[in-house]
Amino acid sequence: MTNTVLDIHEKPKAGQLITLSLQHMFAMFGSTILVPTLTGLSPAIALLTSGIATLCFLLITRFQVPAYLGSSFAFIAPMLVATEAAGGPGGAMMGAMAVGIVYGIVSLLIWKTGYRWIMKILPPIVVAPVIMVIGLALAGTAVNMSMYETTAGNEQVYHASYFIVALLTLAIAIFFNNFFKGVMSTMPILLGMIGGYIVALISDAVFNTTFINLDKVASASWITVPDFIIPGIDYDFQFTSKILFAMVPIVIVTISEHIGHQLVLGKVVKRNFIKSPGLNRSLLGDGLGTLISSLIGGPPKTTYGENIGVLVLTRVFSVWVISGAAVFAMILSFSGKLMAIVGSIPTPVLGGVSILLFGIIASSGLRMLVENKIDFDHNRNLVIASVILILGIGGGKLLFNETFSIEGMALAAIVGVILNIVLPGKAQPDIELEAEEQREKLEKRQVKN
């Protein structure tokens, strides 16, 4: 295979394995710890479960797919809703368990019936606007974190210094993303947080601000067991309709995202992962990773675009390297000092990188519409996209009683699927998936001939 440095099953030398694995691990580090930080979960558990989920994924896909699983941004807002509904993080964990189970059910259906039916239910005209909603619905969160200090009485006080630090953090992240080449360009979130942290330290030293308190870092142990959240011990093992309807409908987006990642990854390494080991296996691996993560207090998982970027740049496709990255993430999760430093990251620094990250999420939905050449001269497309965007961003809520409601992204996703089914006309297909199907047909003809 031309231009490949290490193929999927090639094992690098010990020193090379360590450096390449660390490179992959740091590529996903910033995004993985940002999700729990924004949702009130433990960054250490997020790191630990990302490593465990990745190893599970590799095992289920028979070590054929070089993908890394990290924290999913699609579930940030739903996790906050589920946490509020349950009065604690147990709500988010129960919702994540349900998501993992749904992944398993869908993977079983795909195994028995094939994958084309799911893409008819989830065409780009439905998925892309929902992805845009995910980013845009979080815009207020990112901007508020960038400008306001939340007092003990839950009052928000504006600070110009907060916004300056946030904008400088944003500028650093943009700088690394646009003006650097190689692996560093794939880590703008991590490098932005590091740069913003340094800016905050300088501000504290020069202008006597109080962005960072290092007392907890100094007192933290070098080795600390992560804060596990166990069902039946830390919260009641009980599903509620509000939790289920907050979390489960988001699989409409994450399953499509998963399929997209498998198609892109297959292009990069010149293999058909939809066919072998099969979409059913990769989706099951994703779901099992999410289920295991939820059982010990971690956020839902997804395959990471950051690591696909590293594969493209390095041409190192080895599952040994991906496994090594997973092991390093698990080891680092027990570093008390590192986790204390993560806990000391100032809110405006998180806000600054969130502006970029949430904007990229929204823009990726727009890019999906462009890449699939969605024609908005057709009223069908215009109606579906419009309804999804307004319901999702506007926070539409279908309230049945005090314990049962469907709202926000979940409602927008469900309504989008229904509109796609009932409106006359045919949805424009996913161009990437169509190309994959054409390649399959061509391969079958070549075999016959």
Q: What CA–CA distance (Å, rounded) separates 322 from 324?
A: 5
Residue 6 lies in a domain: no
Q: What is the pTM of this model?
A: 0.90
- Encoding tokens for residue 73? 């941004």
With cut-offs at 50, 70 and 90, classify the pLDDT of residue 307.
confident
3-state secondary structure of 191: helix
With cut-offs at 50, 70 and 90, classify the pLDDT of residue 403.
low
Residue 1 lies in a domain: no
Q: What CA–CA distance (Å, rounded) separates 350 from 170?
A: 9
DSSP of 37-94, one letter per residue? HHHT--HHHHHHHHHHHHHHHHHHTTT-----EEE-GGGHHHHHHHHHHHTSTHHHHH
Q: Is the pLDDT of residue 449 over 70?
A: no
Say if residues 430 and 414 touch (Cβ distance below 8 Å).
no
Residue 7 lies in a domain: no
Average pLDDT over residues 158-162: 95
Give the C-alpha distances (Å, rounded to integers) separating 126 from 302, 388, 430.
19, 8, 11
- pLDDT (tens digit per residue) in 310-355: 888 889 999 999 999 999 999 999 999 999 999 999 999 999 999 9
Range of the domain at 323: 14-448
Say if residues 268 and 66 touch (Cβ distance below 8 Å).
no
With cut-offs at 50, 70 and 90, classify the pLDDT of residue 5.
confident
How many domains does the chain contain in total? 1
Contacts of 152 (CB under 8 A, 6+ apart): none
Say if residues 99 and 300 touch (Cβ distance below 8 Å).
yes
- pLDDT (tens digit per residue) in 21-40: 998 899 889 989 999 999 99
Q: What CA–CA distance (Å, rounded) separates 133 from 140?
A: 12
Residue 18 lies in a domain: yes
Give which of 19, 21, 2 is closest to 318, Cα–Cα. Answer: 21
Residue 346 lies in a domain: yes
Residue 185 lies in a domain: yes
Residue 2 lies in a domain: no
